[in-house]
Amino acid sequence: MEKKLKVAVLGATGSVGQKFIELLSNHPWFELTEVAASDRSSGKKYSEAVNWIMNTPLPEKVKEMIVQKCEPNLKSRLVFSALDSSVAGEIESEFADNGYFVVSNARNHRFDENVPLIIPEVNSEHLEIIKTNKKSGAIITNPNCSTIGLVMALKPLHDNFGLESVNVVTLQAVSGAGYPGLASLDIIDNVIPFISGEEGKMESEPLKILGELKNNTFDLAKIKISAQCNRVSVIDGHTECVQVKLKNMASAEEIIQVWESFSSPPQKLNLPSAPKQPIVYLYDEKYPQPKLHRNLERGMAVSVGRLRECSLFDYKFVVLSHNTVRGAAGGTLLISELMKAQGYLDKIL
Ligand code: NAP
């Protein structure tokens, strides 16, 4: 059996960091060997530093790990970043400058010139840009959690019919605000119609992801996108109500057909975290629902439902995806598996 690649998690004590630890506990290719976080946690045993909120037990091996500082002296050359964006920018650059491959969930480097913004099913070819990197390491970014669900559903429409404009209204889970996140009195029995910076990310990130990499520059897709983002009292799973205007009109049957038949490199390469069916169309008019569908395909599938004609745009539908799995830790693992399968990690093996 091939030796596992040693990996570290930066920001290992937070909401996304804990999800990494859970997903890495039996990973066939990666072995979690180091955890790092802020000065509040470093030097402590992980079990003492963390307030474990996953609903699976904290793995025995990780309990005893001593939390490191986020400094580029770790033994693992592949690091997953779940750092707060107030510190991620600088720390991730330091790691990349020192030869590490950093796969990040933070927003800071998503629009850097030679940093790809990857959804493995959508734009795996954008990884090519890291070959132009002058640093010895590289930063690879995972998009915003709501962007991922949206763009997964848009990709087959864009490829087959062309997208002219998109309107999206989100209903986002509280785990998306990190841990401890919002005060319970602010969110229980409530909807908060503002998530700082979120609408801008949802309007800009899809254009890079659905754009083309030409002569080592990203040519942004020309689609008009408008987003409104709301925080709702759901623990996990972001729901998005989407309206689309297509360049070439299609029937509802054709749209469902391109979603259901959507398949891409992660499925063809049979990557460990890849969902067999990346987009699951649910025919019951009450679906998708976060409580029922966020864990489809271990949280890696995006569910879509309620496709119907729209009197303002051409069609409207509802998308649901698990924000800390598909939208964060699971998405990052899938990027890293793709990089390993395509030889991008050979120099650190
Ligand atoms: P979180 O729960 O607040 O966790 C933040 C992590 O960053 C903790 O481990 C914290 O360590 C660490 N940290 C804070 N200040 C630090 C410093 N000065 N030096 C080193 N480490 C520091 O946040 P989260 O929700 O997990 O999000 C992590 C990142 O992923 C963010 O950039 C977020 O935008 C992004 N993201 C989140 C989601 C989601 O659904 N939650 C989805 C997609 C992307 P201590 O515990 O030691 O303070």
Give DSSP secondary structure letters for 263-314: --HHHHTT-TT--SSSEEEE-STT---HHHHTTGGGGTSEEEEEEEE-SSSS
CA distance 35 to 331: 19
Catalytic residues: 145, 238
Element (H, E) at 35: strand 30-37
Taking only the tens of pLDDT, the chain with its 349 residues reads 678 999 999 999 999 999 999 999 999 999 999 999 999 999 999 999 999 999 999 999 999 999 999 999 999 999 999 999 999 999 999 999 999 999 999 999 999 999 999 999 999 999 999 999 877 899 999 999 999 999 999 999 999 999 999 999 999 999 999 999 999 999 999 999 999 999 999 999 999 999 999 999 999 999 999 999 999 999 999 999 999 999 999 999 999 999 999 999 999 999 999 999 999 999 999 999 999 999 999 999 999 999 999 999 999 999 999 999 999 999 999 999 999 999 999 988 7
CA-to-CA distance for 153 and 241, rounded, in angstroms?
A: 11
Q: What is the pLDDT of residue 136?
A: 82
Instruction: Report how far ligand 1's centroid is from the alpha carbon of 229 (Å).
Output: 20
Q: What pTM does this model have?
A: 0.98
DSSP 327: I
Token output for 136: 């010895």
Ligand 1 atom closest to the Cα of residue 12 is 9
Q: DSSP code of 223?
A: -
What is the CB < 6 Å shell around ligand 1? Answer: 11-17, 37-38, 40-41, 70, 82-85, 87-88, 105-106, 145, 175-176, 178-179, 323-324, 327-328
Tokens of 103: 């796969």
84 Cα–ligand 1 center, Å: 4
- Among residues 73, 14, 78, 61, the alpha carbon closest in space to that of 41 is found at 14
Residue 348 C-alpha from the chain's centroid:
23
> Hey, what domains does the chain have and what are their CATH numbers?
5-144+329-348 (3.40.50.720), 145-322 (3.30.360.10)
Pocket test for ligand 1, best of 10, 13, 16 (most atoms within 8 A of CB): 16
Nearest to 266 by CA among 280, 277, 258: 277
Between CA 28 and CA 49 the distance in angstroms is: 27
Substitution candidate for ligand 1 out of 80, 84, 236 with most atoms within 8 A of CB: 84
Distance CA 142, CA 246 (A): 26
Residue nearest to atom 33 of ligand 1 (CA): 106
Distance 201 CA to ligand 1 centre (A): 17
3-class DSSP assignment, residue 171: strand
Contact, 236 vs 294, CB < 8 A? yes
Say if strands 315-321 and 191-192 run parallel, antiparallel, or are unpaired.
unpaired
pLDDT the model gives residue 165: 98
Ligand 1 centroid, distance to 79 Cα (angstroms): 14
- Largest Cα–Cα distance in the chain? 59
**How many angstroms is it from 181 CA to the middle of ligand 1?**
10
Q: Position 106: which residue type?
A: A
pLDDT score for 2? 78
Asked if 271 and 339 count as a contact pair (C-beta separation under 8 A), the reply is no
Alpha helices in 133-251 (DSSP H): 145-161, 184-187, 198-209
- Closest protein CA for atom 9 of ligand 1: 11
pLDDT score at 1? 61
d(CA 314, CA 244): 6
The per-residue pLDDT for 104 is 98
Q: Two tokens at 312?
A: 């303002």
Gap from CA of 80 to ligand 1 centroid (Å): 12
CA atoms within 13 A on the CB side of 5: 20
